[in-house]
Amino acid sequence: MIYAVVNTKGGVGKTTTAVHLATMLARSGEALLIDGDKQKSAASWAAWRSENSGSLKLGPSPTTILLGGKAILSEGKTLASKYNYTVVDVGGRDSAGLRSSLILAQMAIVPVGASNLDAAAMTDLLELIELSRDYNPDLAVRVLLTRVDPRTKDTAEMLDFLKEQKLEVLTTKVCERVAFRRAIGEGVIVQELGKDRLAINEMEAFFEEVQHENKT
């Protein structure tokens, strides 16, 4: 199974989502995490992870590699065939990389924040998804609301917008929580950090939903 975590917008939680998904998948099989972003955030996370592996008690790790542009499709395909699960953390600005990941993947997970800016930035992405359907007609697309502030009405408005766009939205919402930032900085996931039960519940619920969607 190959997942691509995509959005043309930065700072929406792509890397956070990708490393959590890849590490949760690594519990049940060999998982590959492709860092498709020149900023190398997922690769940095993996480096911090190996530095901390002596002092912290960690679960299984995904194998992390860096790929960019069209290599995400060509190299990615060969590599993905050797793993049970592949997750691509796609760089927002690398349009060749983004297109390649949308052709490579079986499921695109689109983290979005709940602001007008997030909605406006989705037009480009929706066009790219439509184009990729010529090569990858079975691509499943699921939107994940991230960095949610439950005190505002923004989320309800964003959900209306997504519905208008006929996008399938996961029920799980990931809220803005310090634990996510901290986990990434230490090369772990919130479950391994073990400090924020709500953050853990959100990630586990997201994971269950994604796995359930694969079976239906």
β-strand partners of 31: 85
Count of residues engaged in binding ligand ADP, rule: CB under 6 A: 16
Q: Which does 176 bind (CB under 5 to 8 A by kind): ligand ADP, Mg ion, none?
A: ligand ADP
Q: What is the CA radius of gyration of the chain?
A: 16
Considering the rule CB under 6 A, would residue 99 count as an interface residue with ligand ADP? no
**Separation in Å, CA 136 to CA 20, 26, 162:** 25, 26, 22
8 Å CB contact between 154 and 114: yes
Q: Of the two residues 12 and 102, which places its CB atom closer to ligand ADP in the complex?
A: 12
Per-residue binding string, Mg ion, 52-91, x by CB under 5 A, is: ----------------------------------------
Q: Which of residues 131-150 bind Mg ion (CB under 5 A)?
A: none
Q: How far, in whole angstroms, is CA 68 from its chain's centroid?
A: 16
Among 2, 3, 4, 13, binds ligand ADP (CB under 6 A): 13
9 belongs to the binding site for Mg ion (CB under 5 A): no
CA atoms within 13 A on the CB side of 201: 6
Rounded to the nearest 10 degrees, what angle do helices 41-52 and 14-25 cross at? 50
User: Is 184 one of the binding residues for ligand ADP (CB under 6 A)?
Assistant: yes
Q: Is 15 in the site for Mg ion (CB under 5 A)?
A: yes
Contacts of 210 (CB under 8 A, 6+ apart): 3, 21, 107, 109, 142, 170
Given the complex with ligand ADP, which of 77 and 142 has the nearer CB atom?
A: 142
Q: Give CA 141 to chain center in angstroms.
A: 12
- Contact positions vs Mg ion (CB under 5 A): 14-15, 41
- Contact positions vs ligand ADP (CB under 6 A): 10-16, 41, 146-147, 174, 176-177, 180-181, 184
